[in-house]
Chain A
Amino acid sequence: MCGIIGYIGEREAQPILLNCLNRLEYRGYDSCGVAVMGDSIQVFKDAVRVKALEKTLPKLAGTAGIGHTRWATHGEPSPENAHPHCGCKGKVAVVHNGVISNFQSLRQQLAHEGHTLLSETDTEVIPHLIEKYYNGDLVKAVGRALEDVDGSYAIIALIEGETTLVAARKDSPLIIGVGDREYFIASDVPAVLDYTSSVIYLEDGDLAVITPNAIEVTENGVAVHREEHKVLWSVEDAQKGGYQHFMLKEIHEQPRVIRDTLKQYITAADLNADSAMTGSDGLEDLLVLACGTSYNAALVGKYLIEELAEVPVRAELASEFNYCGQISARNRVVVLTQSGETADVLRAVKRLNEQGCQVTAITNVVGSTISRLASQVVYTRAGPEISVPATKSFMAQLIALYWLALPYSRVDMRRLDNLIVGLRQLPAKVQQVLDNEEVIAECARYLSGYDNVFFIGRGINFPIALEGALKLKEISYIHAEGYAAGELKHGPFALLGDDTPVVVAAAPDKTYEAMVTGIKEVKARHSPVLAIVSEGDKNIGELADWVITVPEVETIFSPVVNVVALQLLAYYVARQRGCSIDYPRNLAKSVTVE
């Protein structure tokens, strides 16, 4: 995906661009670069992290500039492939986030016309096209160039001789931070929070011309007005404040996140009437789509909605659904995407819209693309999630799913009352798991020596086993796999031995007996067992080699406390192994490619 940034105003651009790029790094961090416009355009880029670039970068004077931090799609990380890219004469510079799907034919065409392209990227065609069409007016040239281009883009272009930045958006996010006689163009809001809390969200098809004094936006050639919005996130939200890693800070924010999410939705004994999914009176079935960690939340949603509403729920990976999912207009659909920009999910929703489905989107980013595509948007109030591995956004998604499920509950009033009381108790229960951190860190020390770890769970905790494995593999690079506990003996058992620990997420419900049997079978193969058990547990605690105790909650809420224990476990294992944690290798925060 990548993060792009542009600045135009009265201050020196270079320090501002670098600061914003530091904040944008979670979108991609294998290469970066800046272009600053003084008398001429000066470009400096390399296949390094932003902090490293800052050390070697000479002082580039100028009050307008663009920058980029890269997550490589086409072309490996290298100085040549890094952005910004320029035209032949070095007078046009462009940064780009997205994928140009017809770049091969464009390259051939441009080469044929005498252009020399220096990199392997798809992006490079853009500055050359702008160069080709330039006739004294950058906006016109950019507009014309983009007509030749297929695919997705968020671009910012500048050209020698014009004190303007031109930005365009199609299927990749782009916002403009509004300052006092200065503007900050960026892929997302956290990049500009140091400078302003007023932003304009560009929409697909927008072409914006930005000078130090004004912005003009056109959509398909017609002038449009885009509202300025006040952002509720603060710079504080995007800082570590004492913590060594954003991930640990965000794990610790979860009690507050649950409180904030609940505040909007639950009103004592009455459920907020707005909670009904649009077009879902008399819910008969439900389709839930998501990717990655959000998919694990979707699976928890499946279990809890099936239990409470007693209707069949289908949870699918958005990427797979795009190749074969059967849908009808009758389908009620919920999609989950933290960033609101996940390409696989957006593609699915466009298809669902064409079929006439009603889509409810659960997302954490206001103004994201999904919020424009879905019929209904439920915003989780987790604040910006800076760490690449998702933690608090997952928690917020769970809470949103509980809230969506409650109005359809076919359980009796007393059970419903208890559920609402239970929901309100969750911040304190999660805080209890956090207060027990040292025990978890101790278990992590043992786990960190292994190369392969299995996670098992049953029922509503099966997705939590998947999530625990995902977190561990993401940040500690240990090969971890999650399995439904019942599946282990259908194959994976062949891998078990004394060097493959098994992590168990258990709850004292109808799956408990089967879990105890499963653990005995695992222990018979000499695998060490780490169990997450509920307070007061009698059996599993005695079988396991290491035990993490979480507070007792109703089974339907057990994913909430269990996942926090597994997040902390993954974190401390990764720390023990000296891993980067907030910026894991090869990953980026919001997957805007398919």
Chain B
Amino acid sequence: MMKQAIILAAGEGQRLRPFTVNRPKTMLAVADKPIVRYVIEALSQNGIRNIVLVVGYRKEQIYDAIGSGEQLGVDITYVTQEKQLGTAHALAQAVDVAEDEFLVLPGDNLIVADTIARFIDEKPGALLVKRVADPSRYGVVAVQQGIVQGIEEKPGEARSNLVNTGVYAFNKEIFNYTGSVLDIPEVLNNMINEGHEVNAVETDGSWLDVVYPWDILNLNEEVLDHVEPAVGGTVESNVFLRGQITVGKDSVIRSNSYLSGPVIIGSGCHIGPNVCILPGTSIGDNVVISSFTEIKNSVIGNDVAIGPGCIIEDSVIDEGCAIKGHLTACSGEGEVKVNGESHSVSYGVMMGEDCNVSGNVVIQPGTIVGNYCQIHAMKLVGGKVPDRSLVY
């Protein structure tokens, strides 16, 4: 059984902006927990406690959240990738701390213990694959009788439905091949061409990826279904709770509020009175939500203050935003361009950190608002608003 895992958590995740301007992709919060933490927990639940974290972009965020690993019951060694030059290069940074055999996992794909439960017993020279509905976004794996024939990245026409999860079992020999090659799939293709055998192991367990900001909502909804309900704070009289509800320590849910799960609320929050939190919503720490606001299937970050009378659906509002009141961010269809590619989307708003939104603002469905934006009262906002914009 493998005893060590190397998690690659150095990447930026450019396509996830504005959310990755101040944090690495692995630190995106899903149901109030950063993605990398799900990976660590999956490993720890399978008995792997010796973990190497390869960090790089915005590594302090990971130090702050994960630290020495003590609280997660694991032992973390940090290795820094100074320049983000690909997954093979990231792995190569760990050569001095790697044991003879180890697992390699991506830090930015959400997995659970089940996903890798069988894989940890694999001998070095194995790759975990999964059947997905839309394989052309990923690395498609050609498999014959359990042996990998090749990996094709984002093919126009996918030859199979099996994709590369980025979870590998290697031994120290891999470092002989990571030299000048930038990405691990390329390394594997080279090794396969030289005659090495790489086993393909299929998993049924959860393996979730985020590529674009709105993907966060899918992950959030799926994970929330499995969160154990628990109410740690204060719930005043006449509050209606239905379904799986988690409320953190020192939070207060004021009278006449309606919470329909699955919903998770962090610690030190003040919600209500008369607030509706509807299914699929995650709320961070130190969040204030004022009367007559309705939030549905959305992710609200730490330290956000939402004034009265808002409607927020299928949206992500990042940390520190201050919303005065009467914000309309309804869900609907829209078109968004990311890195020159057009996407048809269906959501409310993707709003970056520390935005200041005055009263009675209407945000059109499918809008992306950058970090540190200021929006004056009674504005109609649409499209892609760059960081530090003033909308007046």
Contact = CB atoms under 8 A, between A and B. Distances in A.
B and A form one assembly: yes
Contact of B68 (A241, A252, A256): A241
Contacts of B354: 428-429, 432, 551
Contacts of A432: 320, 353-354, 372
A242 B250 contact: no
Contacts of B78: 242
A242 B22 contact: no
Interface string A216-243: 0000000000000000001110011111
A427 interface: yes
B379 to A, nearest CB: 19
Interface string A261-295: 01110011000000000000000000000000000
A196 interface: no
B267 interface: yes
Interface residues of B, number: 34
A263 B303 CA distance: 12
Nearest to A535: B372
Binding site secondary structure of chain A: helix
A267 B68 contact: no
B64 interface: yes
Contact of B286 (A236, A253, A259): A259
B71 interface: yes
B76 A241 contact: yes
Contacts of B270: 267-268
- Give the interface size class of chain A: 20 to 34
A239 B67 contact: yes
Which residue, of B53, B63, B372, has the highest number of chain A Cβ atoms within 10 A?
B63
Nearest to B322: A425
A42 interface: no
Contacts of A421: 288, 305, 322
B320 A242 contact: no
A428 B319 contact: yes
Given A267-B252, A427-B286, A234 B22 contact: no
Interface string A5-45: 00000000000000000000000000000000000000000
B124 to A, nearest CB: 28
Contacts of B68: 236, 239-242
Nearest to A248: B60
B63 A241 contact: yes
Given A242-B55, A242-B62, A252-B60, A424 B67 contact: no
Contacts of A147: none
A243 B302 CA distance: 23
B70 A437 contact: no
Interface string B169-207: 000000000000000000000000000000000000000
B288 A242 contact: no
Interface string B286-315: 101000000000000011010000000000
B258 to A, nearest CB: 19
A241 B62 CA distance: 10
B250 A263 contact: yes
Contacts of B66: 241-242
- Which of B62, B67, B249, B252 lies at the interface centre, i.e. has the most chain A CB atoms within 10 A of its CB? B67
A252 B286 CA distance: 17
Nearest to B271: A268
A251 to B, nearest CB: 10
Contact of B285 (A252, A259, A264): A259
Contacts of A551: 354
A242 B286 contact: no
A582 to B, nearest CB: 16
B239 to A, nearest CB: 15
A93 interface: no
Given A236-B70, A242-B68, 5 more contacts: A243-B63, A256-B64, A259-B268, A427-B320, A434-B60
30 contacts: A234-B70, A236-B71, A241-B70, A242-B59, A242-B78, A252-B60, A252-B64, A253-B64, A256-B64, A259-B268, A259-B302, A262-B268, A263-B267, A263-B268, A264-B250, A267-B252, A267-B270, A268-B252, A268-B288, A421-B322, A424-B286, A424-B288, A427-B286, A427-B320, A428-B303, A428-B319, A429-B354, A432-B320, A432-B354, A435-B22
Interface of A: 234-236, 239-243, 249, 252-253, 255-256, 259, 262-264, 267-268, 421, 424-425, 427-429, 431-432, 434-435, 437, 551
Which 5 A-B pairs have CB atoms at the shortest separation, nearest pair first? A428-B320, A241-B67, A242-B63, A241-B68, A428-B303
